[in-house]
A and B are shown apart, each in its own frame.
Chain A
Amino acid sequence: MTGYSKWLGSVGLLIAAIAGVTLLGEFRPSVYSTSTTIGIFALLALPLGLLYGQGGTVSLAQGAFAAIGAYTTAIITTRFGLSPLTSLLPAVVLPALIAFIIAKPILRLPELSLALVTLSIGTVVEVALQRGGDLTGSFNGINGIPALPFVGTSRIRAHFVVWTVVVLLVIGYVNYMSSLRGRALNAIRTDHLLAQAMGVNVALDLSLLFAITAGLAGLGGWFYAHTLGYVAPDSLSIALSANVLFMVVLGGRKSVLGPIIGAAIFTLASDFLPGTESQGMFFGGILILVLLFSPDGLMTLVPRRWRQRSTSVAALSAKPNPVVPSGAVQ
């Protein structure tokens, strides 16, 4: 089994799903906005899946980095009148740079401390945006962000653009994991000392990955801002950071499609369930069930033969499947 054949499965599956959704949208155009939202969440969740699922390093700052990306592009396009394409680079680079700078001291912390520290980054960003005066529009946020020139107001184009990026990311993810660097990342998850003894510069590798994770969240924020046309301090908030981690854990942190499935379930459930309380109850309940019966997420419920093609790395480990009522995924 080569790295090549392994990823054909998951990429094929994803493209088939996108094609299906596209067809569905021909009958109900609202499908496109839902799928665009899922795609934007996937931009935040997928790199976190790599960092957390494969590298064992948790982050609760994806919402904050997305907010930095969204506000960067909002400020550049509305205050300075530049094109969204010009602001794409700063919207990705700024969160990545911030992440890289803070990475080295915090990434050596144990998991729980790291979760709390990254969570507090969200608080700092949120307060900064609320008190940012005219620059960030304070509590009101920023309105009138222009649409992307190659998308305009077309819902189907937004859908295609976002999912093209997600497919490219999935390909990159699986390539990464089937390379020696992917093995190094798994070694870091197992044991930092082991990774170092294999010649892995753990601090640098994790910092780079943390920066890439933040940069892609910035990309998600950029899409978000230009798709919705406005941003406010609470639109990409601490709650979103927690929800992104929820998507990763729910879908399966060790599989490449897991975070995307988590993003889809989260978005659909938020759309169909009325009221915040029933949503909270649903998400809390489903998370408890998943963690009890399938700690590695819903993707581990997929039959093994199937999974070997659709996941990259976990495929080689011969962990027995937990016994769970069938049909929970499809």
Chain B
Amino acid sequence: MSLEAHNISIAFGGLKVLKDVSVAVQPGVITGLVGPNGAGKTTLFNCLTGVAQPQQGVVRLDGEDISVYPLYRRIQLGVSRTFQTPRLDLDASVLDAVMMGFYSRNKPSLFGAAVSLPSRRRLERQLRAQAERLILQFELTADPYQRSGALSLGRLRLLEVARAIASSPKYLLLDEPAAGVDEHDRALLAKAIRRAAGDEIGVLLVEHNVGFIAELSDHMVAMVRGEIVAAGKPHDVVRDEQVVTAYLGGHRVAA
């Protein structure tokens, strides 16, 4: 049981962005993927979510080869993601944004959408209540009908996590969730991520902010220039020579 990238290689023209990279996300485990800019983190992330396809290697979901599945199918199979820049309709309400997350598991048929049967209305009431609970749990806003655009960047990231949780994922992949987020919202985000892992969701965090990830993750992977240079306990990875060199340009400092 895992979401894994197996010996992935990708080159853009002559530039090898990923060289034979393998990573596995286990249920209930928070895996942190760190590396300086240009390390290939986002490309690896895109391979796992289906935005990019590997030129070599395979992506497996619980043993099934999903390398060529498009993004929308992976969501249906339980691989949810958030975006570096939150993507949502800023004019729609917070409730509407969270409700959107239920689509992949509760999509009505074309005919079912055009007629309003009592069973559908019941389902929608249930989902609405569930969305309101998520909004409360994530401490997004006191008013579910508030415009999403009125939230801070941190809350928008949190909103994306809530929306991803609404799709009942088996694996949750977060692309730089802590970038540009203040202390308070970052604490809320950490709480939400821990809770997801507690619910047996496998979490992959991609960040270049090492501090946030080292504190949060159970397992840490460091990438430099398209290769994995260190993997293991966060405590060990942040002290790894190559990681320190990549981040600090060769000068060792006491951690």
Contacts and interface: CB of A to CB of B under 8 A. Distances in A.
B142 interface: no
B162 to A, nearest CB: 13
A196 B89 CA distance: 14
Contact of B75 (A3, A182, A197): A197
A180 B96 contact: no
B71 interface: yes
Contact of B114 (A176, A190, A198): A176
B15 interface: no
Given A176-B114, A186-B92, A199 B76 contact: yes
A216 to B, nearest CB: 12
B102 interface: yes
A202 B102 contact: no
Contact of B101 (A191, A198, A317): A198
A199 B92 contact: no
Nearest to A173: B114
Interface in A170-208: 172, 175-176, 178-184, 186-187, 189-191, 193-202, 208
A187 B100 contact: yes
Interface residues of B, number: 43
In which size bucket is the chain A interface? 20 to 34
A319 B91 contact: yes
Contacts, number: 114
Interface string B54-78: 0000000000000000111001100
Contacts of B70: 196
A168 B88 CA distance: 31
A281 interface: no
A2 interface: yes
Nearest to A209: B110
B15 to A, nearest CB: 24
Contact of A172 (B95, B114, B121): B114
B191 interface: no
Nearest to B95: A316
A189 B92 CA distance: 12
B133 interface: no
A201 B88 CA distance: 17
A197 B145 CA distance: 23
A3 B124 contact: yes
Given A180-B113, A198-B104, A317-B147, 9 more contacts: A181-B108, A186-B96, A190-B88, A190-B89, A194-B88, A199-B104, A199-B107, A202-B72, A318-B147
